[in-house]
Amino acid sequence: MRQLPFKLKSLAGLKWARLQDGVRRSALWILLLALVVTLLGTLVWLAGRYEASQVQSRLERDASETVADVRAGLTRNIQSFQALQSSQRTPASWQLSAGDLLIEHREIMRLEWRSESLEVLAFAGTPYHGAVFERLGRSSAQADVSLACNTARRLSGPAYSASYFMPQADGLGLEFLEMCLPIMAAGRLAGYTVATYALQDVLAEFVGKQLGRGQSVSFTEADGTRLAMYGMRSRGSRVYVAQQLLDLPGNTLVLRLESRQGTPAFFPNLLTALVTAMSLALLAVLFLLARDMRRRLKVEHDLGEALAFRKAMEDSVLTGLRARDLDGRITYVNPAFCQMVGVDAKDLLNHSFPSPYWPPELAETYQQRQAIRLAENALPREGHESVFMRPDGTRFPVLIMEAPLINAVGKHTGWMSAILDVSEQRRVEELSRASQDRLQATARLAMIGEMASLLSHELNQPLAAISSYATGSLNLLKHQAVGKGAAPELLPITMSANHLASDMQLAMGRIAEQAERAGRVIRSVHDFVRRRDQSREAVQPRALLEAVMPLVGLQARKLSVTVVIEVDPACAAVLCDRTMVEQVLLNLSRNGMQAMHLEHSGSGRVARILTLRVRPGRSIEASGWVEFAVIDRGEGISAEVGAQLFTPFFTTKLEGMGLGLSLCRTVIEQHGGRLGFEAAQPRGTIFSFTLPVALPTGKH
């Protein structure tokens, strides 16, 4: 029974000790929590005070800069007023200049030019407001103007009056400020320039563009009376205010800058950061281990994917890849290279010089070349060509491009080569070269054919003329022998010996002339086909027509066509290849006569008239050109035929070759002119072309 109280005391003491320990730990936790809360509160309060001081400092700085901006703007205006009075002006001219100045400065309500006695000589009002002195009149501010001008005269510079309120017609009012600037001429007072400022517009023009959102600026008096304000007035408990004095000659204003910027609430962010730090302290190790494990698995997976992708790429690429170490031993080859040389990879790896795919006759040369390249440690990257050999002895050309092989740490460990089999490329080049040779041969044959066609076409007329004159000469001799008259195609001749000799001499001269003409045609066509520069000379248009008239007249008599020549005397000489242009005139004239002959064959009621017309260019652009026209009275040219009339080998004649008009256009275009056709009225066709006028000597 005596031990029971002792046990009870022991249990009570243990409980009391545990209670004390619990209370002590709780107190420590409470104390720690209190310290943390106090620390957090102190940090938040200090951060708020610091932020508030920063905001106030920025606002003070902005206010100081704003005062400087207002003072600078007023100073610039004074310079403008001085420029306004820099020269002798009449009131009318001063008023025009003042009006222009008021358009640029919205803050100025009125500008006045006053005499020494403050009498208004000229004035101008702002175009942005109505009559600002309409209700009380300008005389109501005369005392302020006088005070400002007296101060300005005393200071010999600009002076400002005290601000005053002026009611407006709309029921509102504006706060005005007078500025007086004395005008000095030869050292004496010559008058005053008085400017009336609206304080609210001064704030809007000089400060308003720089105000941020949530800020307002105002002018106040020393006692805090607000005179003018720009921006929305700030209200609430978190309003920051900065004041700066605007000291002007004769007046002092207070500029007040208000901002609604408040101290940011840092407490939630700081508390969250502390709680997050204590929570992450317990899980940091597990998190780091988990992240490290996850990164390692990801890296291993990515490495496996990269190796698989590189292997697939190396196996599928058609370019042979080969790697060598610094001693020249092969350390890597891809399947494309093995397939190219016909040797397995196991037989190539660790193989040094000479390589098994080198031709025996070139092995020594290749080995010397490789030794030189490896010794230089700088291989050219443009590549070089070589010849490889397959096990069956087949040789094939390759293009080898080599570059240094650099490992992950930047160390040079060997050489990497890319090998291309260029057998197919060489075969295509040979085929292309052979095809090019065949094309050149075909082009030369085509040129020969074109030259032959041109000669056959252009020689028809001179040869036909030679044949006609030779036939006429034979007829003359024959008729002279039998005592009959001359051939009807020639001019009437008598049977006397003298007349016969004269006619024979004329005929032989024409034959020689046409033979010479045929030679010139051959030379001109030869130069034309070879695209050489033809010799050109200044020729009178009438001389060109007279040169072709014997042949044109001969065919005209056969086809019963009357040839009319119209040459404008104002036409100047043209610069041309005479022979080729004569052929153009002959071709066009012959085509016109044949068109009328085919249409009117069997009927003589319609006149067959071929007109050869020459006149200067009809427009300003054609002032340096002469226009030749061949006009017939045929049935004309249909739209279908006209669309392909100048196409080579197109013709509507059974015996035609289709080259005449095409060659004519080419000849004219080589002279820089243009060949075309149009319908004639009331019927027929006009073929016309232009030739350049020959410049006088020394102007070519």
- pLDDT at residue 245 above 80? yes
pLDDT value of residue 385: 76
Q: What is the DSSP string of 247-283?
A: EETTEEEEEEEEE-------HHHHHHHHHHHHHHHHH
Q: Are 664 and 587 in contact (CB under 8 A)?
A: yes
**Length reported for the chain:** 700
Helix and strand totals (H; E) in the chain: 15, 22
Vertex 68, ends 64 and 70: CA angle to 5°? 115
- pLDDT at residue 500 above 70? no
Name the residue type at position 365: T
Token representation of residue 474: 């034979």
358 CB-contact burial (10 Å; exposed 0-12 / middle 13-18 / buried 19+): buried
Q: Give yes or no on whether 67-259 and 536-700 have one common fold.
A: no
Alpha-carbon gap, residue 627 to 613, rounded angstroms: 8
Whether the predicted model's global pTM rises above the 0.85 cut: no
Domain spans in the chain, listed from the N-terminal domain onward: 67-259, 317-420, 536-700
Reference 687, options 649, 646, 659, 640; nearest CA is: 646
Token representation of residue 161: 């009056």
**Which of the 8 DSSP states describes residue 407?**
-
Alpha-carbon gap, residue 157 to 78, rounded angstroms: 10
Say which range, 47-51, 135-139, 607-611, 632-636, has the weakest mean pLDDT: 47-51
- Report helix, strand or coil for 346: helix
Question: For the segment 250-266, what is each residue's pLDDT rounded down to a tens digit?
Answer: 888 898 888 876 545 44
Q: Which of 15-24, 104-113, 530-539 is most confident?
A: 104-113
Superfamily of domain 317-420: PAS domain (3.30.450.20)
Question: For the segment 291-347, what is each residue's pLDDT rounded down to a tens digit?
Answer: 777 788 788 878 888 888 877 777 777 777 888 787 778 888 888 888 788 788 777
Q: Which residue has the tokens 């007296």?
A: 150
67-259 has which CATH code? 3.30.450.20
Alpha-carbon gap, residue 661 to 392, rounded angstroms: 65
Alpha-carbon gap, residue 83 to 72, rounded angstroms: 17
pLDDT value of residue 614: 93
Whole-Å CA distances, 63 to 66, 225, 251, 255: 5, 18, 19, 7
- pLDDT at residue 236 above 70? no
pLDDT value of residue 591: 87
The stretch 257-282 carries a mean pLDDT of 58
Question: For the segment 202-232, what is each residue's pLDDT rounded down to a tens digit?
Answer: 888 888 677 766 688 888 888 888 888 887 7
Give the helix/strand (H/E) hosting 612: strand 609-616
Q: What is the mean pLDDT of the chain?
A: 76
- pLDDT at residue 629 above 90? yes
The stretch 27-35 carries a mean pLDDT of 63
The stretch 94-106 carries a mean pLDDT of 89
- Report helix, strand or coil for 452: helix
Alpha-carbon gap, residue 521 to 526, rounded angstroms: 8
Sign of the Cα torsion 630, 635, 640, 644 reads negative
pLDDT value of residue 111: 92
Say which range, 227-231, 468-472, 561-565, has the weakest mean pLDDT: 468-472
pLDDT value of residue 690: 92
N-term to C-term CA, the chain = 153
H helices of 189-324, in order, are 199-206, 267-316
The stretch 418-442 carries a mean pLDDT of 74
Q: Are 225 and 84 in contact (CB under 8 A)?
A: no
Fold (topology level) of 536-700: Heat Shock Protein 90 (3.30.565)
Whole-Å CA distances, 512 to 516, 518, 521, 583: 6, 10, 14, 18
Burial 386-398 (b: 16+ CB within 10 A, else e): bebbeeeeeebeb
Comparing 190 with 279, the larger pLDDT belongs to: 190
Q: In what order do the strands lie in the sheet with 395-406?
A: 330-333, 320-325, 412-421, 395-406, 384-389
Alpha-carbon gap, residue 331 to 351, rounded angstroms: 8
pLDDT value of residue 25: 59
SS (H, E, C) 532-591: CCCCCEEECHHHHHHHHHHHHHHHHHHCCCEEEEEECCCCCCEEECHHHHHHHHHHHHHH
pLDDT value of residue 485: 43
pLDDT-derived band at 488, boundaries 50, 70, 90: very low
Q: Which residue has the tokens 């902005």?
A: 62
Token representation of residue 530: 């070879």
